[in-house]
A = this chain, B = another copy of it.
Amino acid sequence: MSDNKTTLAIVDDHPIVQEGLQKLLVNAADITIVGCFTTGTDFIHFLKKNPVNVVLLDISLPDVSGIDLCREIKKLSPDTSVLALSNHSERSMVLQMLQNGATGYLLKNISGEELIACINEALNGQLTFSHAVKEIMSRPSLNELKDIPKLTKREKEILQLIADGMTTADIAGTLHLSPLTVETHRKSLLQKFEVKNVAAMIRVAIEQKLIP
């Protein structure tokens, strides 16, 4: 009878999280933790010799990206359900994990009951998300709908200098341009970002990683 229990593996480089997961899962009588791993390669090595029903996978491991590891797991063992574990819920990351075969996406602030519920959902073949992720995925987020503006070389250059606190005149000086030219570029920057002043522009530019 003990053979039809669910086999579960934990892949997470945080000892705290490993211990925490173990403790939360001892309440689940039908789940057996068959292994705890701190790197992706360790787990892959294990998976080649042992069947695993569900793996709780931290997406930010030291050795490999969560995305790559997930794909590798599914290639090696398609029947293994991968539940991604993460601290942050960025839409793009959730989508990428699902594209690469993950069965669910859980935030680390999940409760013990919710965790067990999600594992069971995953075993039934359903996609499953922790509460907080559901919310974020259900309402398409504002700043990810509007496309990232395509800036020209000059515009990027000027954007950078604006972010450094330079005025139009300063920029004109350092780039040996007419202030009026700089104004023109500044104007098209504001247009492309769809904002009405530099404060907002710098904010979203950083958000979109257009400024270091």
Contact = CB atoms under 8 A, between A and B. Distances in A.
Please classify the interface of chain A as helix (H, G, I), strand (E, B), loop, or mixed, using the class held by over half of its residues: helix
Nearest to A204: B165
Interface string A45-74: 000000000000000000000000000000
A34 interface: no
Contacts of A87: 87
B109 A13 contact: yes
Given A199-B199, A202-B199, A17 B15 contact: no
Interface in A76-127: 87, 108-112, 115
Interface stretch (A1-9, A18-26, A176-184): A18-26
How many copies of the polypeptide does the oligomer hold? 2
Contacts of A115: 16
Contacts of A196: 165
Given A199-B162, A202-B199, A15 B109 contact: yes
A60 to B, nearest CB: 9
Query: Which bucket holds chain A's interface residue count?
Result: 35 or more
B24 A19 contact: yes
Contacts of A28: none
A169 interface: no
A3 to B, nearest CB: 28
B109 A167 contact: no
A203 interface: yes
Interface string A159-171: 0001111010000
A106 to B, nearest CB: 10
11 contacts: A13-B109, A15-B20, A16-B16, A16-B24, A19-B112, A20-B20, A87-B87, A163-B200, A198-B202, A199-B201, A203-B211
